[in-house]
Amino acid sequence: MTEENRRRRDPDRPGSGATDAELLVQDPDLPPVAIDEQEAEAEERRWTPLKVAVWVAIALLGGISWTMLAIVRGETVNAIWFVFAAVCTYLIGYRFYSKYIERHLLKPNDRRATPAEYKADGKDYAATDRRVLYGHHFAAIAGAGPLVGPVLAAQMGYLPGTVWIIVGVILAGAVQDYLVMFFSMRRGGRSLGQMAREELGLIGGTAALVATLTIMIIIVAILALVVVNALGESPWGVFSVAMTIPIALFMGVYLRYLRPGKVSEVSIIGFVLLMLAIVGGGWIADTEWGVAIFSLDRVTIAWGIIIYGFIAAVLPVWLLLAPRDYLSTFMKIGTIVMLAVAIIIVRPEISVPAFSEFASRDDGPVVAGPLFPFLFVTIACGALSGFHALISSGTTPKMIMKERQTRFIGYGGMLMESFVAIMALVAAISLDRGIYFAMNSSAAATGGTVEGAVAFVNSLGLVGVNLTPDMLTSLAADVGEESVVSRTGGAPTLAVGLAMIMQSFIGGPAMMAFWYHFAIMFEALFILTAVDAGTRVARFMLQDSIGNFVPKFRDTGWRTGAWICTAIMVAGWGSILIMGVTDPLGGINTLFPLFGIANQLLAAIALAICLAILAKKNVFKYIWVVVLPLAFASVVTITASMYKIFSPVPAVGYWAQHNAFRNALEAGETSFGTAKTVEAMEAVVRNTFVQGVLSILFVTLAIIVIITAVIASVRSFRSGGAPSAEDPAVPSRTFAPAGFFATPLEKQIEAQWDALPEDRKPARTRH
Amino acid sequence: MSTVAVHLRGLVRFFRDVMGEDAYRKYQAYHAASGCSSPPLTEREFWRDKMDRQDANPGSRCC
C-alpha cells in the first residue's frame, strides 16, 4: 500500500517490472487524472462536527423508523416510516459498506483508463457523464420485476418483505451489480457469458450459457403472463395497451425520417398520445361495440402477445423496439418520481399486520410455501436480481468514464431499484387485506365470482378481515373494470394501490379509473419492452450457440437463421405462457416461484463468477463479501428448488401435484381438486411435468456453475492466485469526480482541468 | 431569476441526456478528438447508423 502510494507520488520513477503502478504514469503536462488517495482518505477520515451530526441524524432517523415498523407496530403504521427506514439504511450501506468493498476488495484506480477511454469509438464505447449514465443504467435494470414481487410477498405481512428488500439489496443485490460491473469494466466490457467461459472453463461456461438462455425464456414467459392476467376481460386495458403499438410505430417513423435524434421530444409526443389512449380506452369501454371488440379472454391475449413478440423481434429495431424503449424509459422515470412524491405527500396509513397468518404457514393462497425460502424467491428484483448481471456486464461498463464511478453507478443504481420495490410494497399494503386476497387468490380458489371470493377470503380466518360483496363490486366500478376478483399476477393489485394513493394526491375518486389504467399501462409497457428485448437478446445468444456447430448461424444478417432462432425462442416462452394461462391451478401462483428461483439462480451464477475472479486476485481476507450473498442465494434457491421438486405437499411440490393428478386419472376419476374435467386434469399433469423438469434443469445447471467456481477458487487459493484476465492497464488522460457530488478535492482538480488552455486539452476519448 | 433558469435548463438537459440524446454529442466529441480527417456523420446519418447497429447488437432490458 505505502509502496504503491510512494510510486504514485513519484510518477517519473522509472520502472523495470511492468506492474500497473509503473505502467500508469501520469502525463506531466496534464493536471492530475486521479485524486491523491492518501489525501482523499485523510479527508474521509476527518470527522468534522457537521459530518458527525449528519450521520448521527441519519442513523437516528433510520433507527426510529425501523423501531416503528418492527417493534412499535400499533394498529396502523404510517407509510412514511417505510420511506425513512429504506432511505436511511441505503445511505448508511452506501457510505460505509460499499466504501469498504471499494477500499479492500476492488481497489479501483482512476489513473487507469476505462474501456470508454482506451477503446473509444464514439458509439458503444463512449465516456458518459456519471449522473446521466446512472439514469441510463437505472432505466435498463428497473422494470416490472420490482413492482410485482413485493406485491405477492405482501401475503406474509409487511415486515418480512421490507427487511429482505432493504437488507438484501445492501448485502447481496447491490454487491452483485457493483462487482459484475467492475469486473466487466476491467475486461473491456465483456459480457457475463464471456467472463464465465474465461473463469470457469468449458463446462462451467457452457452450463452458465445454457442456464442464462433457459432462465431468460422463463422470465419472459412469466412477465408476459403478468400482462395477460392484467388485461384479461378488460376492454379498457386491452385497447390502451394495444394503442402503444401504433404510437410506437409513429414515434419510430418520426425519429427516422422527420426529426432524428429528438428523443425526448418524440417521447413527450408519445406520452401525450398514450394519455389520450388511456382516456379513449375509458370511452370505448363504455360503448357496446368497444366491449364486444376489446373484451378478450386470456388465451386470445396470450396468442396476441406471442405473435406480437415474434414480429417485434424480426422487425428493424428503429421501427418498434427503440421507440417503445424510449417511451418506456420516459414513463419509468416519470412515474417513479411521481409515485415517490405521492407517497411522501399522501402518507397512507397501513393496517396490514407486520407478520400475517401466512408468515408461519405454507398454504398461502397467493404463493404457496413456507417463508424460508419462498419469501426470498418471491421478491427477487429489488433485493437480488441475477438478470442485472447481464446489464451490468456489457452495456454500461463501456460508457463508464472513471473506475471509481462504478460504486455510484453499480451499487447506487441497485439501491434505487430497491427503493422502487419498497414503494410497490407500500402501494400494495395500503389496500384492504380482504380485497388483497380476493384479487390475488387464483380463480381456482375463488371461482372467479364475487360471492366465491367473499366466501373464500372470509373462510381464511384472517384477523380484522371482513370482506363484503359490496366492497369488491364498488372497487371494480371505481376502477372501471367488470370485476377485480382473481386478478392475479401482482400488477392489478399494485395498480389499485397506486390508484388509491394517486387519487388522493391528484384528481379525487373520479380519477380512480384513470390512475388504475395508467398503472396497468406502464406495467404493460415495461413488460412488453422486456419481452421484445429479451426475445431479441435470446435469439442472438441462440444464434451464437448454434453457430458453434453450424457456422452459418453466426451471421446475424442471415434472415432465415434469424427467423428460425426467433421462432425457437418465441415458441419457448410462448408455450410456457399458454401453459400458465390455461393452467387449472391458477397459473401465476404456481409459476411465479419458478421466476424468482430462475432469477436468483442467475444471481448465484454471477456471484460464483465473481468469486472465481476474486480468488484469482488472491484477496481471500475480504472474500466473505461475495461468499455471503453467494452462499445465501445458493441455499435459498437450492432449498426452494428442492421444495418444488421433492415436497410431498401438492400445492408446493410440482411432482407431488403431478403424481396426485396422474393417480386420480388412473383411478378413472373425472374431476380432482380444482380441475373439473378430464382435460383439465391432463393439463395439470402436463404442466406440472414441465415445471418440475425446468426446476430440475435450473438447479442442476446452477450447481454445476457454483461447483466449478468453487473448484477454480480453491485452486487459486492453493497456488496463491493466478494471472487475471483483465485487459492490460493503460494510463488515463482524463478526470471526473466519482460520486453524485464532487468532493472539495475533486473540485480542485476539476478547476485545474477547466483552466487548461483548449489546445492543450487531451482528447477525452483518444485512441 | 437567472440562476433558477440556469438550473432549470441544466435539469432539462440532464433529462434529455438520460433519455439518450447525449449520444450524438458524445460521437461529435469523439470525432473531433480522434483527429480523423473525414467529416463526421451528420445527425441524421448518425442516428440511422445507431439504430441499424442496434439491429445486430441488441441491448437487454431487465425485468
Average pLDDT over every residue of A540-566: 88
Q: What is the DSSP string of A342-408?
A: HHHHH--EE-S-SS-GGGG-S--SSS-S-HHHHHHHHS-TTT--TTHHHHHTTTGGGG-SSGGGHII
Q: With CA atoms as reference, report the closest residue to B43 among B26, B56, B19.
A: B26
- Which of A180, A626, A655, A582 has its CA nearest to residue A387? A180
Asked if residues A148 and A490 have their Cβ atoms less than 8 Å apart, the reply is yes
A255, B17: Cβ pair inside 8 Å? Answer: no
| Amino acid identity for residue A17 in this structure | G
Å from B34 to nearest chain A CA? 6
- Establish if B39 belongs to a structural domain: yes
Please report, for residues A74, A177, A217, A328, A534, the alpha-carbon distance to residue A139 in angstroms, rounded to integers and kept in the order given.
37, 14, 21, 9, 15
Q: How far is CA A573 from CA A223, A301, A322, A531, in A?
A: 10, 14, 22, 10
C-alpha distance from residue A134 to each of A138, A204, A401, B15, B18 (Å): 6, 32, 12, 12, 8
| Any B CB within 8 A of A523 CB | no
- Which pLDDT score, from 0 to 100, does residue A513 have? 95
Helix (H) or strand (E) segment spanning residue A20: helix A20-23
- Rounded to an integer, what distance in angstroms lies between the CA atom of residue A605 and that of residue A702? 6
Which tens digit of pLDDT belongs to each residue from A15-25?
334 567 777 88
3-state SS class at A672:
strand
- Give the residue from A496, A405, A487, A507 showing the smallest Cα distance to A443: A487
- pLDDT for residue A628: 97
Cell of B42: 451528420
C-alpha grid cell, residue A171? 448485502
A559 near B CB under 8 A: no
Grid coordinates belonging to A646: 421433492
Nearest CA in chain B to A132: B18
Q: How many domains does chain B have?
A: 1
Beta bridge partners of A350: A77
CA–CA distance, A597 with A386 (Å, rounded to integer): 10
Residue A586 pLDDT grade (very low, low, confident, very high; cuts 50, 70, 90)? confident
B56 touches chain A (CB under 8 A): yes
Q: Which chain B positions have a beta carbon within 8 Å of A395's beta carbon?
A: 59-60
Pick A145's closest partner by Cβ from B35, B48, B62.
B62
Tell me which residue of A244, A243, A237 sits closest to A285, measured CA to CA: A237
**Number of helical (H) and strand (E) elements in chain A, helices listed first:** 33, 2
pLDDT of residue A9: 36
Contacts of A343 (CB under 8 A, 6+ apart): A79, A80, A83, A423, A426, A427, A501
Looking at the complex, does the CB of residue B22 fall below 8 Å from at least one CB of chain A? yes
A761: left (phi over 0), alpha (psi -120 to 50) or beta: beta
Contact A316 B51 (CB under 8 A): yes
> Residue A7 has what pLDDT?
37
Question: Are B54 and A537 a contacting pair at CB < 8 A?
Answer: no
Please check whether residue B7 lies inside any domain of the structure. Answer: yes
Mean pLDDT of A62-78: 92
**A252-256: which pairs have CB atoms within 8 A and are 24 or more residues apart?**
A252/A318, A252/A319, A252/A320, A252/A322, A252/A323, A253/A319, A254/A323, A255/A318, A255/A322, A255/A323, A255/B47, A256/A318, A256/A319, A256/B47, A256/B48, A256/B51
Would the pLDDT of A209 be above 80? yes
- Tell me the shortest Cα–Cα distance from A522 to chain B, in angstroms: 13
Phi then psi for residue A586, to 5 deg, are 115, -5
Beta bridge partners of A672: A675
What is the spatial distance between Cα A155 and Cα A490, in angstroms, rounded to a whole number? 11
Residue B61 lies in a domain: no
In angstroms, the CA A392 to CA A142 distance is: 12
Q: In Å, how far is A759's CA from the nearest CA of chain B?
A: 11
pLDDT, position A426: 95
Q: Note whether B31 contacts A766, CB cutoff 8 Å.
A: no
Residues A297, A741: Cα–Cα separation, whole Å: 51
- Give the pLDDT mean for B37-63: 83
CA distance from start to end of chain B: 42
A2 pLDDT higher than 70: no
Residues sharing a CB contact under 8 Å with residue A386, sequence separation 6 or more, in sequence order = A176, A215, A380, A598, A599, A600, A601, A602, A603, A604, A605, A606
Considering only alpha carbons, which residue of chain A is nearest residue B51?
A318
Cβ atoms A429, A403 nearer than 8 A: no
Count CB neighbours of A474 within 10 A. 12
Please report how many Cα atoms fall inside a 13 Å half-sphere around the Cα of residue A190, on the Cβ side: 17
Say yes or no for a CB contact (<8 Å) between A326 and B20.
Answer: yes
In the structure, what pLDDT confidence band is assigned to residue A559 with cuts at 50, 70 and 90?
Answer: confident
Question: Cell numbers of A17, please?
Answer: 517490472
Cis peptide before A373 (omega within 30 of 0): yes
- Check residue B35 and give its pLDDT: 78
Residue A16: predicted pLDDT: 36
Please, where are the H alpha helices in A548-623? 559-582, 588-617
Helix segments in A647-675, DSSP class H: 654-666
- How would you class A711 by CB atoms within 10 Å of its CB: exposed for 0-12, middle for 13-18, buried for 19 or more? middle
Q: Which residues contact A477 (CB under 8 A, 6 or more apart)?
A: none
pLDDT classification of B1: cutoffs 50, 70, 90? low
Asked if A156 and A359 touch (Cβ cutoff 8 Å), the reply is yes
Which residues span the domain enclosing B11?
3-56
Tell which residue, A569, A556, A140, A533, has the closest CA to residue A322: A533
ipTM for the complex shown:
0.92
Query: Is the full-model pTM beyond 0.80?
Result: yes
Nearest Cα of chain A lies from the Cα of B6 at a distance, in angstroms, of 18
Please indicate if any CB of chain A lies within 8 Å of the CB of B9.
Answer: no
| Cross-chain CB nearest to A534 (options B27, B47, B60) | B60
Contacts of B47 in chain A (CB under 8 A): 255-256, 260-261
Q: Which of residues 296-355 of A touch B (CB under 8 A)?
A: 316-318, 321-322, 325-326, 328-330, 333
Cβ(A199)–Cβ(A725) under 8 Å? yes
> pLDDT of A646-685, one tens digit each?
999 988 999 999 999 999 999 998 888 878 889 889 999 9
Neighboring chain B residues of A316 at a CB cutoff of 8 Å: 51-52, 55
pLDDT score for A43: 86
Angle between helices A192-231 and A588-617 (to 10 degrees): 160
pLDDT band, very low/low/confident/very high, at A6 (cuts 50, 70, 90): very low
Nearest residue on chain B to A332, alpha-carbon basis: B19
If 0-12 CB within 10 Å is exposed, 13-18 middle and 19+ buried, where does residue A1 land?
A: exposed
Please check whether residue A183 is in contact with residue A410, taking contact to mean a CB–CB distance below 8 angstroms.
no
Residue pLDDT, tens place only, A707-753: 999 999 999 999 988 888 999 999 999 999 999 999 999 999 999 99
Looking at residues A299-316, what average pLDDT do you find? Answer: 94
**Residue A427 has which C-alpha cell?**
402501494
What is the per-residue DSSP string for A84-138?
HHHHHHHHHIIIIIIHHHIIIII---TTBPPHHHHT--SSSS----HHHHHHHHH
Give residues 237 to 256 of A whose Cβ lies within 8 Å of B: 255-256
Measured between CB atoms, does B41 come within 8 Å of chain A? no
- Of B31, B55, B63, which is closest to A122 when you measure between CB atoms? B31
CA dist list (Å): A240 to A332, A337, A460, A518 = 17, 23, 36, 9
Rounded Cα gap, residues A383 and A636, in angstroms: 13
Residue-wise pLDDT tens digits, A330-376? 999 888 899 899 999 999 999 999 999 999 998 899 988 999 999 99
For residue A220, give the chain B residue with the closest CA: B63
- What pLDDT score does A4 carry? 41
Average pLDDT over every residue of A548-568: 89
Q: Is residue B23 part of a domain?
A: yes
Within 13 A of A668's CA, how many CA atoms are on the CB side? 0
* Distance from the B3 Cα atom to the nearest Cα atom in chain A, whole angstroms: 19
Q: Where in chain B does DSSP place strands (E)?
A: none
Contact residues on chain B for A262, CB-CB shorter than 8 A: 21
Which residues, listed in sequence order, are joined to residue A77 by a DSSP beta bridge?
A350
B19 touches chain A (CB under 8 A): yes
- 3-state SS assignment for residue A190: coil
Indicate if the pLDDT at residue A761 is higher than 80.
no
Q: How far is A226 from A230, CA to CA, in rounded Å?
A: 6
Does residue B13 sit within a domain?
A: yes
For residue A756, the tally of other CB atoms under 10 A from its CB is 13
Determine the Cα–Cα distance for residues A18 and A10; give it in Å rounded to an integer.
Answer: 16
The rounded distance, in Å, linking the Cα atoms of A295 and A236 is 8
Segment A410-466, tens digit of pLDDT:
999 999 999 999 999 999 999 999 999 999 999 889 999 999 999 999 999 998 899
A143–B61 CB contact, under 8 Å: yes
Nearest residue of chain A to residue B27 (CA atoms): A122
CA distances, A147 to each of A12, A426, A569 (Å): 54, 11, 25
Among the partner residues A136, A325, A391, nearest to B62 by beta-carbon distance = A391
Average pLDDT over residues A508-523: 93
Closest alpha carbon within chain B to A315: B55
